[in-house]
Structure 1
Amino acid sequence: MSIGKTQLKVFTSKGFTYTLAVHLLIACQSLSMIPALAQDGIGAGSEPRQFMFNIPSQPLSSALHSFADTTDWQVSIPSEIAADMSSPGVTGSLTPEQGLKSLLVGTGLTYRFVGPKIVTLKRDSSGAVVPGLVGAGAAGAAAASGNGATDTAPSNAQKPVKVPEILVKDIRERESDPKSYVAEEANTAMRTDTPIRDSPQSIQVVTRKVIEEQKAIRLDDALQNISGISTFSQSADVNDAWFIRGFAIGNNNMFRNGLFDLFSAQLASDTYNVQRLEVLKGPASVLYGLGDPGGIINIVTRKPLPDAAYSANVTLGNYNLYRSELDATGPLNASKTLLYRLTVVGQKALSFVDFANRDAVGVTPSITWIMGSRTTLTVDGEYFKRWTQRIPGLPSEGTVLPNINGDIPRNRFTGMGNFGRNDRTVYRVGYDLSHQFNNNWSIRNMYRYSILQSDQINGGILALEPDQRTVSRFWGSGPGETSISRQHLHSMVTNIVGRFRLLQMDHTLLTGVELREVRQNPIQITTRTGPSLNLDLYNPDYGINPFSAPISAVRLFETEQKLVGVYLQDQIALLPNLKLVGGVRFDYVHQFQRAGTVAANPPEQTSDDTGVSPRLGLVYQPIEPVSLYTSWTRGFLPNSPGSFNPTGELFKPERSTQYEVGIRTFFFQNRLSLGLAWYHLTRENLVTPDPDPARAAQGFAVQTGEQRSQGIELDVTASLADGWNVIASYAYTDAEVTKDNDPTLVNRRLGMIPYNKATLWSTYHFQEGSLKGFGLGGGVIGYTGRNVWIFDPQVNVPGYVIVNAALYYNRDLEPNNWLKAKQINVAVNFRNLLDQRYVGYADNSLTGYFYGDPRTVLATVGLRF
């Protein structure tokens, strides 16, 4: 046998070396290859042993080394091929051959057996294959089933489709999220395919599995599972709102598939099309631009899959809830280069608050086109509409404080009855285009155009009268009896990612550009007040026509914001177990505003702000399952051009600074994930009223405010055994005012931030015996007491604990059943099982109190095809 001169790199369970002797080994082993392969379980009719793989994305050489340690196989590859090549990694229980295929996805390599447990690698012109994304024919079927790989394919077989590495990673997440509570990767933290364990900033993920088992219809329900997040929306409220690490996050902190999404929080987003929720805590300006300092929420939507799958479910609940969801995905052609997904939801429901309906409808189509061996394009859109009313608050007397007339009923509505409405519709359309130049360099361009149309006519309460039963109210509408407004959003991001080796260190370089434009069309709001609008809380009359009240003011609103951001980030492997992250972003923000009473003819106000937002982080892994990290990051948020001071100068942008240290672990083959973090977060340049009362009365302000939040957070997700899943969290948050013009406010706690919040949820599905198919779940959510806000009067909202539970029945159906279905799923979810009466949120000390939902029962029947 001719050995030749090609130098090989050999990977064994003892490590790897450069050697020529492997050719002699190959020559000897090849004489008895066939019977040996059969004895090792590689061949027709055998059942190969499975191994638990946990190999993250990394250079191919180190990935093959880990593979050899796990399987005791020997893998040889020419050294010039192994250099500067990366592997997407592999996770899960697989045969060695399946694991090797996953390691080679996107590398353009194939393998050939030369002996028992001995393979050689070589370049393959047929491309990388991901299970399910193969062409028709014998070669495709063999690749998908894991029954072998050879250098040649039958002449009548269609070549497999080569799938770009970016899509391979995305599909792996899409298939694993509905199956596990534990997520190992999250693109949000670094905007690259970086395992969570390598991120130097706290990030938590709520997977589709959690959303489905908790029957979390709204984002609010799902985000309760994450430490440091305080949620407070009622199920019928039209807006979403949260606190993260002590600070309110607004519309600037919502993203969808990595693109800025102003309208998610304004529409009370539904989870029917949510694949997962990724929450990055702390200032995120280094990659995402302007925003509040608590963190960002990135909604990852459901995308097409290569294998056909269909599901439908119907949910019935108290308060006359009727809800149905449909989901269909699969290929549109035989070669599986065109994939589609269509998700639909329809809901009609009342709520525990009178006049506040919860009707909604949504449709989301999505198509992925594998344009070539290195290019993919996904185009998607969405139509979602919600019919409801804004729920005004209730007075403190009768909710958290005594009232001489007794407690205010939980169902009391303080709006104008059937005269009001708050209907909102969002339209979205966009694309995601990715291209790999080679195995190390790629580019991704994403764009979305969104429109939010709001039809709002509503009112609210102004004050509680001395009799403690009558409230004065206001009424707001547009010209006549309509108030339709439209907002437009253009959002585009372009990222270039490169992996290379420099100065004996591996680098992952990210550079990107973000463009966005937000425009609010001009709208007028007419406000009416007067005694005729008064309401008796204990004997309400909703028949009063609010348009009969006199007009008190007519206000005009028109805004526009344009942003350009450029960022650069480098992830450097100083040592195999020591990684440094450095990044910086430059933002330019232009704002325009006209706001004020029409009679005063409000002037046009503009501002131009710039900001530089850096981040430094370090991750150290003393052992592979444990990551210790620390980071320093800065945030940036321009003030409104409508804020002004006596000098006429514009205010500087708000700045925030966070220091964080933490530990992150993945044990038991990544079935248990634990994150523990301590942080210190400061928010500076807050605008506060002018210390001169006369100037403060004219609307003047000064920029001397500062607030600080610090605390400890713990998050645990686990799939401890087959059928047993757990998600739990705890947060201690100390948030207070540290500087203010009013010295009485210093050291006061920030509003609605509890010192302690804890959650626990666990489910178990029986795997065998007479109870096989049945399951149960349960958990608790607990908040300690909170002060309403920093101003007087100081009122405390009592803490509370609510108990949730669920029952499940899942059964695989016999083939050829009359429904043609594969599985039936039945679930009954109980929220606030003990019907705890509590106030979930308050936005001021006098009239802004909101009850939490009472006991709620949801019964769901679903079919999977």
Structure 2
Amino acid sequence: MRTYLLLGAASTALTLAPAHAQDNAPTDAPQTSVQREEVVAENTIIVSGRAQKLYRAEETSSGKLETPPLESSLVITTITEQLIEDQGARDAQDLYRNISGVSFFSYAGVTARGFRQEEIFYDGLRGDPYAGFSVPQLFNVQRVEFLKGPNGMLYGPGAPGGLFNYITKKAQSDEFEGTVKAIAGTEDRFGGSAEVNLPLGKGFAARGGLFYEDRGTFRFNAASRTMIADAGLSFDPGPIRVDIQATRYNQELDANRLRGVPVDDDGEFLTDRRWNHNEPTDYLNLESDVFQMRLEAEPFDSLKLDATARYNNATEVQNYHEPRGLFDSDGDGTIDASIREFRDQIRTQETWSFGANAVWTTDLSSSVRNRVLFGFDHFLSDSFFQGRSLRGTTVDTPGLPNPLSLFDPQYGLSDPATYNQGPFTTTLSESEQTGFYLLDELTIGRLILTGGIRRDDSEAGGLVEGETTYRGGAVYRITDAISAFGQYATSFEPQAASSQNPLAGGPFAPTKGDIIEGGIKAALMNGRIQSSLSAYQIRRTNILQSDPRGDEGNDGVDDLVPVGQITSKGIEFDLAADITPDWVLTLAYGYNDTRITEDNGGGGFPFNVGDRFPNAPEHQLGFWTRYQFPELGLAAALGGDYVSERVSMSGQTVKPYMVFDASLIYETGPLRALVRVDNLFDKTYAASGFLDRTGHFPGAPRSAFLEIGYAF
């Protein structure tokens, strides 16, 4: 007997399997927010875990080979659509608590296992539509996978902490379904969305979605308007599937090119957390168009092919006032104002991404299987930057940006139309990168061995580079429910173009990274308890620093040297569990110790050997728990996020914080209502540190919203 009851936070037809009433339930009982699967065998009832079915993926794709988590030596955190829906998440920043070892850094950037990480992939390819300083929205995202650690062999150049891979929603040919939603909340928040999936017959299907939201933010003058229009067409007659997608992203962010709020060296805000250095007329506007086509084929049982092409054209226009230094305006010994610099900028980026994979599977005997993956990816980018800037002084000066008080900011007195701005500086850049990789997975009984190699060649600014990366892994299935794993992998990052000046000693070889990791994964009690425990060490080497000898060539440019090492050591624990049939818990904990372990012997790092690396917390904990009342069609949820003390990039303390949020969910039939409160106790805290002149990024105060949805 199979029975399903709906989980309230994932109630729409787009996110759940069909629901059926229990045999012993009264026919007039409301649909509830539980999902179970019961199997009767020899008078024994086994209840499979909702945590497994709704909060964990049965397979992950970011490792290039689709693999169940217990059979993979990679560590991948998957955030499903159901968990996104359950938590009322709207953008990427709402998800970080679910990933052990990940905390907020700035905009869409995070600290991952001690290192700053900003690389975002979509459907396994480069081409992030949120260029520059916008945060990815989740409306058209099916799930988010975060692949931890160096992954150069799989994806080419990138930071050693990991990468995000956003899997987008695609049309499905199985059934007609749709949802409409409306939202209203504090800070003048309102909006809505609609999605529909339409089978067209003969293997064809179409989907469409429209999202719009208008909201203020807690910072003075700041607001946002976001629109996403998404459409897709699929053809899936088997054994071939074709997906074509087109998406339009449009964001208008008022006074929202945000830096932080100034703090003292102990991490205390010097002024109101709502303080904003931007004028009401400042803005950041983004327009981005994405077209994507994907082909999947299985011409033979032993051969799977896929190929994807992705095109993105994005334009980001910004006018904003940047904090350039704090000062005492009246000589009373108290820092009370900030110098400002006006920046007028436009960025455009046109990118093409291509990727293809072929997987050949062979059973060598009844207990030996081999999978071979051969693939390539190619990335082209044409970028344009046009900008100019004008810095003010500590006093009001005609034609220059006015300074701004920290305690009594007077907005509207500084008008960019009156500034004596100079000419624009224009930069054009082109880059091209190609990678070929080979990965082999050999299964011998309960032992799974993996090894891979990749070669990348790139050209940017006339500089041609090549790099080879490796990966090796092993998994041993101790039981069907418990696995032990280990891996070694490498990565690389090309040095910044601005650092490749031949007068400074360039060009320089890329920064390198490697990882040694091992741990245990488990799916116990028929999936009701899923957990993983891992320990790792990551090294990041060949980091550019100032040459202690200064300008050795006497050419007027201080030299750089590619030395230095940062080492990250950590332990991570993840858990998803059904505590009772009506009570579920997810937990993510990360311990990390990232320190500078080598320099050039004469300085170069802003910190000393042995110091903790900036914005790398020692402890990070996130949890989400929800209890449901099936007879009422009601569920209550509580989440928490803890990040321990850090230091900013200027060495200022970033104080630890613990914030909570809560949700109340009601569902009956196709109707669902969600009330969510963020920062439940209105805690004042810094989510991340930055520079002393720009301060720390403040966390948002308490806010709430109501979302009502109807599924059809």
- Considering the TM-score relative to the shorter chain, is it more than 0.5? yes
**For residues 425 and 432 of structure 2, what CA distance do their matches in structure 1 show?**
24
**Cα drift, residue 554 of structure 1:** 4.8
Residue 311 (str. 1) matches residue 179 (str. 2):
yes
Secondary structure at 1:656 match in 2: strand
CA contact 1:224–1:231 (8 Å) conserved in 2: no
TM-score, normalising length: structure 2? 0.87
Aligned twin of 1:342: 208
1:529 to 378, 384, 392: 392
| Residue of structure 1 aligned with 2:190, choices 302, 322, 343 | 322
Give the percent of matched residue pairs that are identical in Structure 1 and Structure 2.
24
Give the Å deviation of 1:232.
4.1
Equivalent residue runs for 1:73-112 within 5 Å = none
Which of the pair is proportionally richer in strand? 2
Residue matched to 1:784:
644
Inter-partner Cα distance in structure 1 for 2:460 and 2:39 = 54
2:497 to 641, 656, 668: 641
- Deviation string 1:582-615 (CA, Å, 9 cap, x unpaired) is 11110001112xxxxxxxxxxxxx2111111110
Change (3 A) 1:179 1:363: farther
Question: Aligned match of 1:514 in 377, 391, 402?
Answer: 377
Report the alpha carbon displacement of residue 373 of structure 1 after superposing the two structures with TM.
Answer: 3.2
On the 8 A contact 1:186/1:194 being kept in 2, the answer is: yes
Q: Residue 533 of structure 2 aligns with which residue?
A: 676
Question: Counterpart of 1:556 in 2: which secondary structure?
Answer: strand
How many positions carry a matched residue from both structures? Answer: 649
Quick one: higher RCO (CA 8 Å, sep 6+), 1 or 2? 2
Tell me by how many angstroms 1:177 deviates.
10
What does 1:524-563 correspond to in 2, within 5 Å? 524-530=387-393, 531-532=395-396, 533-543=402-412, 544-551=414-421, 554-563=424-433
What SS is found at the alignment partner of 1:437?
Answer: strand
Q: 1:829 & 1:349 partners in 2: Cα distance?
A: 16
Q: Deviations over 1:813-847 (max 9, x none)?
A: xxxxxxxxxx1111111111000001111211343
Q: Give the letter for the 1:802 counterpart.
A: V
2:160 alignment counterpart = 293
Answer yes or no: is the 8 Å Cα contact 1:283–1:294 preserved in 2: yes
Aligned: 1:836 with 2:683: yes
CA distance in 1, matches of 2:625, 2:268: 35
| Equivalent residues of 2:52, 2:576 under 8 A apart | no
Residue 417 of structure 1: how far off its partner (Å): 2.5
Does residue 634 of structure 2 align to residue 761 of structure 1?
no
Deviation at 1:518?
1.2
Structure having the higher helix fraction is 1
Moved more, 714-723 or 351-360: 714-723
Q: Is the 8 A contact 1:392 1:415 kept in 2?
A: no
Could you tell me which residue of structure 2 aligns to residue 394 of structure 1?
A: 261
Residue 647 of structure 1 deviates from its aligned partner by 6.8
Check whether the contact 2:503–2:557 (CA below 8 A) recurs between aligned residues: no
The alignment status of 1:359 with 2:225, answered yes or no, reads: yes
Trace 1:690-839 onto structure 2 (pairs within 5 A): 690-694=547-551, 698-741=557-600, 742=602, 745-768=608-631, 772-789=632-649, 794-812=651-669, 823-839=670-686
Counterpart-to-counterpart distance in 2, 1:348 and 1:515: 37
How far did residue 501 of structure 1 move? Answer: 2.8
Q: Secondary structure at the match of 2:223?
A: coil
- With over 3 angstroms needed to count, the CA separation of the structure-2 counterparts of 1:451 and 1:613, relative to structure 1, is same
Cα distance in 1 for residues equivalent to 2:689 and 2:504: 35
Alignment partner of 1:244 out of 102, 112, 134: 112
Going from structure 1 to structure 2, the CA distance change for 1:361 and 1:719 (only over 3 Å counts) comes to farther
Conserved? CA contact 2:114–2:613, under 8 Å = yes
- The residue identity in structure 1 corresponding to 2:153 is V
Q: 1:573 and 2:443 equivalent?
A: yes
Q: 1:440 aligns with which of 295, 302, 324?
A: 302
| Pair 610,92 (structure 1): closer, same or farther in 2 beyond 3 Å | farther
Question: Could you tell me how far 1:779 is from its partner in structure 2?
Answer: 2.1
Q: Residue in 2 aligned with 1:29?
A: none
Distance 1:269 1:178 in 2: 26
Letter in 1 for 2:523: F
C-alpha contact (below 8 Å) 1:181/1:719 kept by paired residues: no
Give the match for residue 292 of structure 2. 430
- CA distance in 2 between partners of 1:683 and 1:705 (Å): 8
Q: String of CA shifts for 1:458-478, please: whole Å, max 9, x gaps.
A: 12111111241121110011x
**1:654 aligned onto 2:481:** no
Cα offsets for 1:255-307 (capped at 9, x unmatched):
11111133446331111111111111001111111101100111111222321
Aligned-pair CA distance for 1:553: 7.8
CA distance in 1: counterparts of 2:637 and 2:643, whole angstroms:
21
Instruction: String of CA shifts for 1:30-61, please: whole Å, max 9, x gaps.
Output: xxxxxxxxxxxxxxxxxx6899xxxxxxxxxx
Q: In the TM superposition, what are the counterparts of 1:220-299 in structure 2 within 5 Å?
A: 220-233=93-106, 239-250=107-118, 253-264=119-130, 266=132, 267-299=134-166
Shift of 1:551: 4.1
Which secondary structure does the structure 2 equivalent of 1:853 belong to? coil
SS in 1 for 2:541: strand
Contact 2:686 2:696 in 1 (8 A): yes
Query: Do the aligned partners of 2:384 and 2:426 also contact (CA within 8 Å) in 1?
Result: no
CA contact (8 A) 2:52 2:528 kept: no
Among candidates 27, 39, 55, match of residue 181 of structure 1: 55
- Check whether the contact 1:184–1:670 (CA below 8 A) recurs between aligned residues: no
Helix, strand or coil at the partner of 1:260: coil
Matched residue, 1:473: 340
Q: Deviations over 1:481-528 (max 9, x none)?
A: xx4331011001010011013477211111001011111025243434
Q: Which amino acid in structure 2 is aligned with residue 319 of structure 1?
A: E
Q: CA deviation at 1:718?
A: 2.9
Q: How far apart are the structure 1 equivalents of 2:326 and 2:589?
A: 37
Does the Cα contact within 8 Å between 1:841 and 1:851 map onto a contact in 2? yes
Measured at CA, do residues 384 and 638 of structure 1 come closer, stay the same or move farther in structure 2, by a change above 3 Å?
A: same
Summarize deviations over 1:356-397 as a string: whole Å, max 9, x none: 112100011111102x43111000011011111201322224
Amino acid at match of 1:557: T
Opposite residue 286 of structure 1, the aligned amino acid is M
Give distance in 2, aligned partners of 1:704 and 1:211: 42
After TM superposition, give the deviation of residue 195 of structure 1 in Å: 0.7
CA–CA distance in structure 1, aligned partners of residues 111 and 131 of structure 2: 13
Q: Is 1:207 equivalent to 2:68 in the alignment? A: no
**Which residue number corresponds to residue 486 of structure 1?**
348
SS at match of 2:274: coil
CA distance in 2, matches of 1:278, 1:718: 20
Q: What is the CA distance between 1:668 and its match in structure 2?
A: 2.2
| 1:628 paired residue number | 484
Letter in 2 for 1:586: R
Per the TM alignment, residue 780 of structure 1 is displaced from its structure 2 partner at its CA by 1.3
Query: Is 1:497 paired with 2:359?
Result: yes
The one-letter code of the counterpart of 1:535 is: L
Please tell me whether residue 380 in structure 1 is matched to residue 245 in structure 2: yes
Q: Does the 8 Å contact 1:182/1:718 carry over to 2?
A: no
Aligned residue type for 2:588: S
Deviations 1:672-693 (A, max 9, x none): 2101110000001111112134
Q: Please give the residue correspondences for 1:452-471 in structure 2 after superposition, counting only pairs within 5 Å.
A: 452-467=314-329, 468-471=335-338
Amino acid at match of 2:99: I
Show structure 2 runs of 5+ residues with no match. 5-35, 42-49, 330-334, 397-401
Paired residue type of 1:348: D
User: Structure 1 residues 472, 639: CA separation in 2 closer, same or farther (over 3 Å shift)?
Assistant: same
